[in-house]
């Protein structure tokens, strides 16, 4: 068990951040899956900017690596263009 007040606070804040990061990451993954399943070009084009925004936010907060976000965005852009 932690011996210092600051260590106890760090445990609490880490848990809160972990839960929020997990929620944001899972939400983004679900949005990516939804976009990949779409067959209608108009729907895909309207959803694409919001998914890109979610990926950029995750990369900015270091939840995912910047290059992973770039690779995902590139793949999704190709998918939308091919519809």
Render pLDDT for 2-26 as a digit per residue (tens, 0 to 9): 789 999 999 999 999 999 999 999 9
- Does 35 reside within a domain? no
Task: Provide the number of structural domains found in the chain.
Answer: 1
71 found inside a domain: yes
Q: Is the pLDDT of residue 1 over 80?
A: no
Q: Which domain holds residue 66?
A: 48-83
pLDDT number for residue 7 = 93
The answer to whether 59 and 65 have CB atoms below 8 angstroms apart is yes
4: left (phi over 0), alpha (psi -120 to 50) or beta: beta
The reply to whether 33 falls in a domain is: no
User: Quick one: average pLDDT of 22-51?
Assistant: 96
Residue 62, domain member (yes or no) = yes
């Amino acid at each position: 068990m932690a011996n210092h007040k600051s260590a106890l606070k760090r445990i609490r804040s880490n848990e809160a951040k972990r839960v929020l990061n997990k929620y944001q990451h899972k939400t983004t993954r679900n949005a990516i899956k939804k976009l990949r399943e779409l067959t209608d070009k108009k729907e895909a084009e309207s959803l694409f900017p919001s998914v890109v925004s979610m990926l950029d936010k995750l990369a900015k907060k270091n939840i995912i690596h910047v290059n992973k976000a770039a690779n995902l965005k590139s793949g999704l852009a190709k998918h939308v263009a091919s519809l």
